[in-house]
Structure 1
Amino acid sequence: MAVEIERKFLLASEAWRSGAESAVRMVQGYFELLPPSPTVRVRIAGEKAFLTVKGPVRNISRSEFEYEIPVADAEAMLREFCGGRVVEKVRYLVPYGGFVWEVDEYFGENEGLFTAEIELDGEEASFSVPPWLGPEVSADRRYSNGALSRNPYRRWNNAPKQA
């Protein structure tokens, strides 16, 4: 079984941009399932598409199954199954301290939000903290992309301001 172990942070500055090696535009939609169902996501990332099923989060870990699918199928699923539960973003890959950080710049209803994620081999794994990193939000479920598809960042009252 595949397991995703991930920590998520807000950003304190835009200094990460100078280290970004690549960027890909992503559109991802979420199927409407009632808890405690898994999260089911369809994503178009550049010229590829994926169907992903994620289990419930336990600490910072969760099971994850991802399969490449035809882009035309993903486009149809976005239209037919996801309704307005869509997240648009550009993902930048930023190497730092022996890891590759995924920095997401959100658009549409989540415009103004930037997050950085690091995937780890274990929950207790250590890593160097980049100077452009802000507060950790791994435990704040509002920042999961599934939650952002249902309750976008721009609709939050008192949303944290980012650099």
Structure 2
Amino acid sequence: MAKEIERKFLVTSDDWRGQAGAKTAIRQFYLAAVNGRSLRVRIRDGSSAVLTLKFGAHGRERDEFEYPIPLADAEEMQEFAVGLVIEKTRHEVRHNGYVYEVDVFAGALAGLVIAELETPDDIPVAKLPLWLGREVTGDSSFYNASLARNGLPVAA
């Protein structure tokens, strides 16, 4: 078991693009998502797939279990998706010694850009990139499981 410790922010400008490194096309969907528990399948670059179980209240820290699964199985499981299939491109952006994962959503969620920072460190606001906007850590409407079930939040 791994602990996932992350912060989430809305992205307010494209200034991060000049620092962007590796990118990954992601298609993900949920097989179940209720009350602090989710079962997700994620397909990366159309070539590999993982099954992820997350447990815990929406916040900075949750328990996470992740297992590789055959791509063909993942493709077949998509028929059982709950809500939207999420399509996004994840960009790795380095800033002040940290790696931010900037997700640019497509499809039904087009226009939404969220940055995630996985770290146990409490980074002061002054050291965060200027292209970050409002922090949405703990706002369940911005979690991928909620986006899949409910679409774009009104406050996006």
Q: TM-score, normalised by structure 1?
A: 0.87
Partner of 1:68: 68
Task: Give 1:57's aligned amino acid.
Answer: A
Unaligned segments of structure 2, at least 5 residues:
none
Q: Distance in 2 between matches of 1:36 and 1:131?
A: 34
In structure 2, distance between residues paired with 1:58 and 1:137: 11
| Mapped contact 2:25–2:89 kept (Cα < 8 A) | yes
TM-score, structure 2 as length reference: 0.91
- Which residue matches 1:151? 150
Deviations 1:107-156 (CA, angstroms, capped at 9, x unpaired): 11111100000001x2x532630111111000210000000001111xx4
User: Are positions 1:125 and 2:122 aligned together?
Assistant: yes
Superposition CA RMSD, Å: 1.6
Residue 20 of structure 1: aligned partner: 20
SS in 1 for 2:16: helix
Runs ≥4 residues deviating over 2 A = 124-128
Count of aligned positions:
153
| Aligned counterpart, 1:94 | 93
Paired residues for 1:106-125 under 5 Å: 106-120=105-119, 122=120, 125=122
1:49 counterpart SS class: strand
Q: Which structure features the higher share of strand residues? A: 2
Percent identity over the alignment is: 42
Query: What's the CA shift for 1:11?
Result: 0.9
Please name the residue that 1:48 is paired with: 48
SS of corresponding position for 1:139: coil
